[in-house]
Amino acid sequence: MYAVEVYASVRQFVFVQGRSQREAARVFGLSRETIGKICRFSLPPGYTRTKPVEKPKLGPLLPVVDDFRR
């Protein structure tokens, strides 16, 4: 994953300055495929879980904890 600063710099280089994606790849030292992905998404895509986190030890006690907090 690339820093948000690099992400913003690449997008400014391509969209504001009107430079090519190929030139951006050469200047920033990234692949053209990566530059293409950066240009497609306005924000860096974040990680999303496919299923919820399992809580094997705490899971059965969560209702007790919730009742105690109320």
Tell me the pLDDT tens digit for each residue of 19-38: 999 999 999 999 999 999 99
* Residue 60 located in a structural domain: no
What domain count does the chain have?
Answer: 1
Q: Would you say residue 21 lies in a domain?
A: yes
35 inside domain? yes
- CB atoms closer than 10 angstroms to residue 28: 16
Percentage of the chain modeled with pLDDT above 70: 97
Residue 52: inside a domain, yes or no?
no
Per the domain annotation, does 33 fall within a domain?
yes
Q: Is a pLDDT exceeding 80 seen at residue 54?
A: yes
Residue 25 lies in a domain: yes
Domain span holding position 2: 1-45
Res 70 pLDDT > 80: no
pTM for the whole structure: 0.62
Distances (CA, A) of 53 to 28, 48, 56, 58, 65: 37, 12, 10, 11, 18
The pLDDT of residue 1 is 56
